[in-house]
Amino acid sequence: MSDIFREVEEDVRKERLEKLWKAYGDYGIALLVLIILGVAGYELWLRYEAAQRNKASAAFVAAQHVANPAQAAAAFEALSKTAPGGYGELAKLGEADALPSTGKVNDAIALYKDIAAGDTGPLGATARLRAAWLEADNASRADLETLLAPISTPTSPWRQMSREVLAYSDYKAGKGLAAAGEFEALANDPDSPDALKSRAKAYASFLQSGGARNYGTVPPPAAAPAPGTPPGPSPGPQPKPAAKP
């Protein structure tokens, strides 16, 4: 009897499955096709992105090897408009790096600041520092402090480099004593990178030894005599005329 009941139960299940398949089989096939197409499309997209990144990488390296600054800036600018993701931002940074050598310092500063405004990571910090260095000779300390504020916090890994820019600004503004103290503090800061310590120590020694003292200006050289003009008297002591007998 148990075999009969089991056979009946299997027949009932089979009948139910057949009914379900007839009712929903087409939907199941469509869903399966969509899943397969989705996986295939995703794989194709990954391959496309990888190809684009490889293409952008090759173009970026090529732009780095362009010797002419104007041509390099143009190459980086073109790449920044087409390269995916991070390569586009790196290309903008490369363009800004090339611009000062073409005389377009203000354009470089503006581009650095644009990069910094859109990135809070290492790329933005690098752009912010480079903009500050380009402005350090002429901008006020207050303006530089505003520009560097996001990377000058006590926990920022860029704070020592920000302080270096401000110390240099004080030096250029004629505040030798203040700048010497700032450089010395940077040289003794255990968190300062080794290269920065060396620069700061050299600056501090230079300023403390009076290197920033203003000794006046060198007088201009005397004008050359016109052709045919007899030479003037020698600047040295002149011999006394002999006494008459």
DSSP codes joined into one string, the chain: -HHHHHHHHHHHHHHHHHHHHHHHHHHHHHHHHHHHHHHHHHHHHHHHHHHHHHHHHHHHHHHHT--SHHHHHHHHHHHHHHS-HHHHHHHHHHHHHHGGGGT-HHHHHHHHHHHHHH--SHHHHHHHHHHHHHHTTTS-HHHHHHHHGGG-STT-TTHHHHHHHHHHHHHHTT-HHHHHHHHHHHHH-TTS-HHHHHHHHHHHHHHHTTTT-----PPPPPPPPPTTPPP---SSPPPPPPPP-
- Which pLDDT score is estimated for 215? 47
- Which pLDDT score is estimated for 5? 47
Check whether 222 has a pLDDT greater than 80. no
- Which pLDDT score is estimated for 11? 55
- Which pLDDT score is estimated for 81? 85
User: Once rounded to an integer, what is the mean pLDDT over residues 84-97?
Assistant: 87
User: Once rounded to an integer, what is the mean pLDDT over residues 24-28?
Assistant: 64
- Which pLDDT score is estimated for 234? 47
- Which pLDDT score is estimated for 17? 63
- Which pLDDT score is estimated for 20? 61
- Which pLDDT score is estimated for 83? 80
User: Once rounded to an integer, what is the mean pLDDT over residues 215-231?
Assistant: 58
In whole angstroms, give the CA distance from residue 50 to residue 120.
26
User: Once rounded to an integer, what is the mean pLDDT over residues 191-215?
Assistant: 86
- Which pLDDT score is estimated for 2? 53
- Which pLDDT score is estimated for 59? 72
- Which pLDDT score is estimated for 40? 66
User: Once rounded to an integer, what is the mean pLDDT over residues 188-199?
Assistant: 95
Check whether 163 has a pLDDT greater than 80. yes
Q: Which of 70-79, 101-110, 216-225 has the highest mean pLDDT?
A: 101-110
Q: How confident is residue 245, by pLDDT bands cut at 50, 70 and 90?
A: very low
The residue with greater pLDDT, 52 or 183, is 183
User: Once rounded to an integer, what is the mean pLDDT over residues 94-112?
Assistant: 95
The residue with greater pLDDT, 12 or 120, is 120
**Domain boundaries in the chain?**
1-135, 138-211
Statement: the pTM of the whole predicted model exceeds 0.95: no
The overall average pLDDT reported for the chain is 80
- Which pLDDT score is estimated for 194? 95
User: Once rounded to an integer, what is the mean pLDDT over residues 107-131?
Assistant: 94
Check whether 123 has a pLDDT greater than 70. yes
- Which pLDDT score is estimated for 66? 87
